[in-house]
Chain A
Amino acid sequence: MEAVVPKKHWTVAIRINHWAMAFAIFVLIGTGFLIAYPVTVPGGETWQKFSVGYIRFVHILFGMFLALLFLWRVYLAFFSTFRADWKDLLAFTNIPNTVQQIKFYLLIDKKGPPHTGLYGPMQSLAYLGLFGMVFLIVVTGIILMGAGYGAGFTALLYGILKPVERLMGGLAMVRYIHHVLTWGFVLFIVVHVYMAFWYDAVLKQGTLSSMVSGYMFEKGDH
């Protein structure tokens, strides 16, 4: 039997950030669709009801969580004392590796490219895309929040982001972009969860549990 060596992959910070972001994104997708397709509450007096108000509150609350978690994640990417992974996020720039990785995913080749960084080439591309989407959806979300709330920090952010609203073509377009991006997250979740299971099954290094324990298991004399 080969020796199986546990190797630390993810710090506590990254793991907390990952699960908090995952939770926030699920809540945001749910409440987001409830805002796009609000449910009519027929009975009772108007003053007794505040359903859409509460849903918007939860959405904005978790939106701010997502914004802070994103800032934290970007900070970790550059200044993590364990592993600042911003270079790993550029793994896709190695073209032969990327081609080899695609062949591996399409089941043409049995082996992927050598694992040099923290992420594979396609993985790095997906995560960069995710960061881009989070950034855009946070920016459009802050614009949509600020448009209806003109005080404090929100007003300050909205003042800064007003030209972005203008650039995107008005609030209506900001709202539309916000809505379209949601689908990007839905698709990302499907592929991301599947790929985590796939790696766990094919490479047998404990990919799934690594986001809880922080350790991956590697065969041989690493």
Chain B
Amino acid sequence: MVGKHYRRLLEQCKIRMDRFEKEYPAPREDFQALLKERGVSRRDFLKWTSFMTAALMLPPIFKPMVTRAAENFSRLPVVWLHFAECTGCSEAFLRSSYPNVDDILLETISLEYHETIMAAAGDQAEKCLEDCIHHFPGKYVCVIEGAIPQGLNGQFMRLGPKGETGVQIGKKVTSKAAATICIGSCAIWGGIPSARPNPTDAVGVSKALGISTVNIAGCPPNTVNFTGTLLYFIMFGAMPPLDGQGRPIWAYGKRVHDFCERRPHYDAGEFVEQWGDEGARRGWCLYKVGCKGPYTFANCPHLRFNDHISWPVMAGHGCIGCTESGFWDTMAPYEKPIHEATFGGGERTVDKIGTVLTVATVAGVAAHGVLSAMRHGRTDKKDGTTTGAGKE
């Protein structure tokens, strides 16, 4: 049984795909032929379609649409900008043990401009970018990787032969884009470049340029979350519903802690107390060695990384909360629970301060009690009323 809502959505999707095929340039490569060439069988591809449909939280009737969107994937012109970052997100998307459908999809993507992997250089590269903005205004998708430094009027970052600042390039490219997708923490809220003390005053793209963006959070994010979001855009002509941090709800709507394979050990009271102990060997909960899964929204437990082989908690280290804003500062320390964060570089945690304050308060009221007994007790005698404090 499929709800009426989904049937209507499917109709909309079909109309959108027809229009997309008419309006956008022809695919650069025959996707099915490419899959065959790379050794991905039709069956593998259909399995991937089912997986992707489920990941996008759509019912199975959308599988043909996902297939169609995948075949049309290379029609979508994409401009990929790099700002203040480590290129780890691009690396995460490009490197894998063997080519799976996601990787092949990302290879077929019509990348008009990508500073790391494009063949063109210098003026040629600039021309690619300008051609794309000129030929596909309002159609291309701008993907941004990296934070934008605002210090020194943005001069901490100058790029290209014209020496434009990050803000200038960002404004130029995003103003004519159909949508702006931020890849990774840096582009979303500033990431590690903006961690305290943030010398370059780096901020996320949406704050620097004053635009709303679709945020594929993570450090690095999962490839599936990016391809899925692009597929959604091709299928429905709009970006998927977003949460308060601009992250697609289909990917970042659930908490890591609630879908973690170690969660039963949490509820059972089975914790890794220190690295390498019996609990660690038996795969118990990593909360006490600093897992930040309880505060982190992501689909890592479902999708995992590197062809769905593993993910941090499965490998034996707690989640560091990399999909959350400000994680570098708010999630620290990474190998201790969050309430063990220290103040002023010393050993002072909130619990140590609390204990000291409580002891001091108890001592304070005890002293106050003794002094009160002396002061109020003495005058009581003078007044000739009952002696001593506390006697009824």
> Chain A: residues with CB nearer than 8 A to chain B?
36, 38-42, 46-53, 56, 107, 110, 147-148, 162-163, 165-166, 169-176, 179-180, 182-183, 186-187, 190-191, 194, 197-198, 200-202, 204
- A166 & B255 in contact (Cβ 8 Å cutoff): no
Q: Considering only CB atoms, which chain A residue lies closest to B254 in the complex?
A: A150
- B268 & A175 in contact (Cβ 8 Å cutoff): no
Task: Report the Cα distance A191→B369, complex, angstroms.
Answer: 12
- A202 & B362 in contact (Cβ 8 Å cutoff): no
For B101, the chain A residues whose CB sits under 8 A away are none
- B358 & A186 in contact (Cβ 8 Å cutoff): yes
- A41 & B244 in contact (Cβ 8 Å cutoff): no
Q: Considering only CB atoms, which chain A residue lies closest to B323 in the complex?
A: A170
What is the minimal beta-carbon distance from B246 to any residue of chain A, in angstroms? 11
Q: Which of B245, B258, B362 is in CB contact (< 8 Å) with A166?
A: B245
Q: Considering only CB atoms, which chain A residue lies closest to B325 in the complex?
A: A170
Task: Report the Cα distance A143→B265, complex, angstroms.
Answer: 23
B32 interface residue per 8 A CB criterion: no
Task: Report the Cα distance A101→B271, complex, angstroms.
Answer: 50
Of the listed stretches B40-48, B84-92, B120-128, B291-299, chain A binds B291-299
Instruction: Give the interface SS of chain B, mostly helix, strand, loop or mixed.
Output: helix
Segment 349-386 of B: residues with Cβ below 8 Å from A: 350-351, 353-354, 357-358, 361-362, 365, 368-369, 371-373, 375-376, 379, 386
- A50 & B267 in contact (Cβ 8 Å cutoff): yes
For A162, the chain B residues whose CB sits under 8 A away are 243-244
Task: Report the Cα distance A49→B284, complex, angstroms.
Answer: 13
- B269 & A107 in contact (Cβ 8 Å cutoff): no
Task: Report the Cα distance A42→B279, complex, angstroms.
Answer: 9
Take A36-B339, A176-B338, A202-B372 as given contacts and tell me if A46 and B350 are in contact as well, using a CB distance cutoff of 8 Å. no
> Chain B: residues with CB nearer than 8 A to chain A?
243-245, 255, 257-258, 264-271, 273, 278-279, 284, 287-288, 292, 294-297, 321, 324-327, 330-331, 337-339, 341, 350-351, 353-354, 357-358, 361-362, 365, 368-369, 371-373, 375-376, 379, 386, 389-390, 392
For B350, the chain A residues whose CB sits under 8 A away are 176, 179-180, 183
Q: Considering only CB atoms, which chain B residue lies closest to A188 in the complex?
A: B361
Q: Which of A41, A48, A176, A190 is in CB contact (< 8 Å) with B339?
A: A176
- A201 & B365 in contact (Cβ 8 Å cutoff): no
Task: Report the Cα distance A52→B257, complex, angstroms.
Answer: 14
Q: Which of B284, B338, B371 is in CB contact (< 8 Å) with A107?
A: B371
For B270, the chain A residues whose CB sits under 8 A away are 40-42, 46, 49
Take A171-B294, A191-B365 as given contacts and tell me if A202 and B376 are in contact as well, using a CB distance cutoff of 8 Å. yes
For the complex of A and B, the 3 pairs showing the least CB-CB separation, nearest first, are A183-B354, A51-B269, A171-B295
Q: Considering only CB atoms, which chain B residue lies closest to A172 in the complex?
A: B295
Take A172-B292, A176-B339, A190-B362 as given contacts and tell me if A52 and B325 are in contact as well, using a CB distance cutoff of 8 Å. no
What is the minimal beta-carbon distance from A171 to any residue of chain B, in angstroms? 4
Q: Considering only CB atoms, which chain B residue lies closest to A40 in the complex?
A: B271
What is the minimal beta-carbon distance from B386 to any residue of chain A, in angstroms? 8
What is the minimal beta-carbon distance from B255 to any residue of chain A, in angstroms? 6
For A47, the chain B residues whose CB sits under 8 A away are 264, 268
- B269 & A171 in contact (Cβ 8 Å cutoff): no
Instruction: Give the interface SS of chain A, mostly helix, strand, loop or mixed.
Output: helix
For A169, the chain B residues whose CB sits under 8 A away are 325-326, 330
- A148 & B354 in contact (Cβ 8 Å cutoff): no
- A38 & B372 in contact (Cβ 8 Å cutoff): no
- A172 & B358 in contact (Cβ 8 Å cutoff): no
Q: Which of A38, A42, A147 is in CB contact (< 8 Å) with B288?
A: A38
Given contacts A53-B268, A172-B330, A183-B353, 13 further A-B contacts (CB under 8 A): A46-B265, A48-B268, A148-B294, A172-B292, A172-B295, A175-B294, A175-B338, A180-B350, A183-B351, A190-B365, A201-B373, A201-B390, A202-B389
Q: Considering only CB atoms, which chain B residue lies closest to A182 in the complex?
A: B354
Q: Considering only CB atoms, which chain B residue lies closest to A168 in the complex?
A: B330
Q: Considering only CB atoms, which chain B residue lies closest to A178 in the complex?
A: B339
Take A180-B350, A187-B361 as given contacts and tell me if A52 and B269 are in contact as well, using a CB distance cutoff of 8 Å. yes
What is the minimal beta-carbon distance from A112 to any residue of chain B, in angstroms? 12
- A190 & B358 in contact (Cβ 8 Å cutoff): yes
For B368, the chain A residues whose CB sits under 8 A away are 107, 194, 198
- A38 & B287 in contact (Cβ 8 Å cutoff): yes
Task: Report the Cα distance A200→B243, complex, angstroms.
Answer: 54
- A52 & B371 in contact (Cβ 8 Å cutoff): no
For B284, the chain A residues whose CB sits under 8 A away are 40
Task: Report the Cα distance A194→B366, complex, angstroms.
Answer: 9
- A148 & B258 in contact (Cβ 8 Å cutoff): yes
- B379 & A172 in contact (Cβ 8 Å cutoff): no
For A197, the chain B residues whose CB sits under 8 A away are 369, 390
For A200, the chain B residues whose CB sits under 8 A away are 390
Task: Report the Cα distance A46→B295, complex, angstroms.
Answer: 24
Interface centre among B268, B324, B365, B372 (most CB of A within 10 A): B268
For A172, the chain B residues whose CB sits under 8 A away are 292, 295, 321, 324, 327, 330-331, 338
What is the minimal beta-carbon distance from B279 to any residue of chain A, in angstroms? 7
Q: Considering only CB atoms, which chain A residue lies closest to B272 in the complex?
A: A40
- B358 & A187 in contact (Cβ 8 Å cutoff): yes
Take A169-B330, A172-B324 as given contacts and tell me if A50 and B268 are in contact as well, using a CB distance cutoff of 8 Å. yes
